[in-house]
Chains A and B, each alone.
Chain A
């Protein structure tokens, strides 16, 4: 078992906040395939398209037949920990600050033996399972975990380096008025978040679930409107230094594309909330979060964007909304690059139609608020960068990867080609 982490003490105001140092981010281009898989928490390796040989480490040509056809495939993560040691010192600053650090070699049932970081509860010489995750430099690394869960295993200090677990962290959910907010707040309370700040725009008009929000443990409702730069700057001034996880659930959704609207009024609102809202939040909260990536057990850990999966391929029935999400998606990549030196993860959660008023006439399947909340919390616990929640989003990203142009043509049918 792992020693449970304790509620972090209040910060000593006389101590300098520790700067985030990073493990080496150098990788070959081929090895970035591991990083891409880690972004979704998938354990993948290259499998030769010609001879079927499994490759490790990643490479440009097959180690058996020299074929360059080396697609990435999901691999059985089971294996045996055949060697392990504990590093007590290192010339690398990042690891030097975090020793002791357990590493080892796992012989996969699938064949190759892989070098990996080793969880404290993984039994020496015993069965383990491999996970592929992003480290603080945003690169894919392999971890050996015990085959089954162990008590408090998520509190293992090495594991907590690659996750953004909400336990004891302070969360900001940006839009109290969103129909997703009660489920999100409940999920974070259950996951052990110490404070759940909820931003409330336009306190001068009521909304149905305010009382429900107030009843959730550790919730504090604070004024915030992502369309109002002054309001965002003011809240960041107050709580930016203790915002460990920011979940931007502010969205402006209206149906319609270009010609059936005939004006730019809703389009402007969509950009104000979905694109510029993200920009304002990032400009105000980003610097403080980036500066606190290594600030103890309640360090800044993650930034969560909830995006429409139609950011990838436009859904004409919600065409202008899709376009605003494409803009936000692009901006999230910029944010990810800017956050990376601070070790703060930017997790995009892509959803198809959500089960709310604006998607009411659409047929199921739709993503319920509770499902969205579960996906966000589990994504944070896994330290992911990309989460596709619900059947529509999962199906769409597969079709996009198979052929973006084919998908575009399919999406131009009124039903999104079955989406």
Chain B
């Protein structure tokens, strides 16, 4: 492969060839939309995140002899999903803040992966701090502007009640501190931030100032969120390309989606 090719057609041709040969692999970062996959749980007097549900309309039978299909229902924020700026009160006046308004080129971009899996294994309330980000940069270089930053915790390997990890004082799962997310948004100019947990914020994120700092700062600055990601352990720290294209829902605040990454092949 000619890594110095600049002709766009040649670039795409090279990419197609690399995908075909496995020189570039596609990693699926998505959980299956499943009725039993946990969703965020809010105090019950608030409206709740709709669970994924599916009703069979026909299955090659009297309801439709040659075809099978389903109606499904869910929230914009069910399963592996994308958060648009208009999801949060801080982002309600951001231009192009809903999923249908976001320019398509914003859905594909470079990705940095910060491995916090050891910390999250030791401490379920593990915090991503500016110090951790700076230490990562010392090893892998400065986080480029307009890149996605994903916080790897291996939380996606948890099942059942261990995923939300709800106790009487709320959920316990890792996430970024307010200072960490400000560093990423204000100093590094990232495009978006993603996690393996049910939200971009920590389980105890409501107790920071401001509450839910990732939602507050990301969306207030017109940046995006990805959550309930899977397989982050298959991404390199740098050098992968993230493809995250939400459904084009009019005034949508987010969307379940298939997130994939292009990574250098293992061969």
Tell me the chain A residues, 217-258 only, with Cβ under 8 Å from chain B.
223, 225, 227-231, 254
- Residue-wise, chain B 144-184 has the 8 Å CB interface mask toward A (1 for contact) of 00000000000000001101101100000000000000000
Q: B131 within 8 Å of A by Cβ? A: no
Which one, A201-209, A288-296, A376-384, is touching chain B? A201-209
User: Does A227 lie within 8 Å of B47, measured CB to CB?
Assistant: no
User: Does B35 lie within 8 Å of A204, measured CB to CB?
Assistant: no
Q: B105 within 8 Å of A by Cβ? A: no
Tell me the chain B residues, 31-74 only, with Cβ under 8 Å from chain A.
35-36, 38, 41, 45, 47-48, 51, 53-56
Q: How far is the CB of B228 from chain A (nearest CB, A)?
A: 13
Q: How far is the CB of A354 from chain B (nearest CB, A)?
A: 16
Given contacts A230-B54, A266-B47, contact A205 B35 (CB under 8 A): no
Q: A402 within 8 Å of B by Cβ? A: no
Q: Report which of B38, B47, B56 forms a contact with A205, defined as CB distance below 8 A.
A: B38
How far apart sit A254 and B46, CA to CA, in the bound complex (Å)? 10
Q: Report which of A229, A231, A265 forms a contact with B47, defined as CB distance below 8 A.
A: A265
How far apart sit A204 and B36, CA to CA, in the bound complex (Å)? 8
User: Does B164 lie within 8 Å of A231, measured CB to CB?
Assistant: no
How far apart sit A254 and B163, CA to CA, in the bound complex (Å)? 27
Q: How far is the CB of A310 from chain B (nearest CB, A)?
A: 20
Chain A contact residues: over half helix, strand or loop, or mixed? Answer: loop
User: Does B54 lie within 8 Å of A206, measured CB to CB?
Assistant: no
Residue of A nearest to B55 (CB): A229
Chain A residues near B35 (CB-CB < 8 A): 225, 228, 230-231
How far apart sit A206 and B38, CA to CA, in the bound complex (Å)? 12
Given contacts A230-B35, A231-B35, contact A205 B53 (CB under 8 A): no
User: Does A205 lie within 8 Å of B41, measured CB to CB?
Assistant: yes
User: Does A227 lie within 8 Å of B54, measured CB to CB?
Assistant: no
Q: Report which of B41, B55, B160 forms a contact with A203, defined as CB distance below 8 A.
A: B160
User: Does B54 lie within 8 Å of A204, measured CB to CB?
Assistant: no
User: Does B161 lie within 8 Å of A204, measured CB to CB?
Assistant: yes
Residue of B nearest to A280 (CB): B55
Chain A residues near B45 (CB-CB < 8 A): 254
Interface centre among A203, A205, A227, A231 (most CB of B within 10 A): A205
Q: How far is the CB of A211 from chain B (nearest CB, A)?
A: 14
User: Does A204 lie within 8 Å of B38, measured CB to CB?
Assistant: yes
Q: How far is the CB of B94 from chain A (nearest CB, A)?
A: 24
User: Does B160 lie within 8 Å of A227, measured CB to CB?
Assistant: no
Q: How far is the CB of B168 from chain A (nearest CB, A)?
A: 9
Q: How far is the CB of B104 from chain A (nearest CB, A)?
A: 31
Residue of B nearest to A227 (CB): B53
User: Does B161 lie within 8 Å of A205, measured CB to CB?
Assistant: yes
Chain A residues near B47 (CB-CB < 8 A): 263, 265-266
How far apart sit A206 and B163, CA to CA, in the bound complex (Å)? 12
Interface centre among B53, B56, B163 (most CB of A within 10 A): B53
Q: How far is the CB of A383 from chain B (nearest CB, A)?
A: 35
Q: How far is the CB of B41 from chain A (nearest CB, A)?
A: 6
Residue of A nearest to B35 (CB): A228
Chain B residues near A231 (CB-CB < 8 A): 35
Chain B residues near A269 (CB-CB < 8 A): 48
Chain B residues near A230 (CB-CB < 8 A): 35, 54
Tell me the chain A residues, 186-209 only, with Cβ under 8 Å from chain B.
202-206
Chain A residues near B54 (CB-CB < 8 A): 229-230
How far apart sit A89 and B163, CA to CA, in the bound complex (Å)? 64
Interface centre among A225, A230, A231, A266 (most CB of B within 10 A): A230
8 contacts between A and B (CB under 8 A): A204-B160, A205-B41, A205-B164, A225-B35, A228-B51, A229-B54, A230-B35, A254-B45
Residue numbers of B with Cβ under 8 A of A are 35-36, 38, 41, 45, 47-48, 51, 53-56, 160-161, 163-164, 166-167
5 extra A-B contacts, CB within 8 A, seeds A203-B160, A227-B51: A203-B36, A203-B161, A204-B164, A206-B161, A269-B48
5 closest A-B pairs by beta carbon, nearest first, are A204-B38, A228-B35, A265-B47, A204-B160, A205-B166
Residue numbers of A with Cβ under 8 A of B are 202-206, 223, 225, 227-231, 254, 263, 265-266, 269
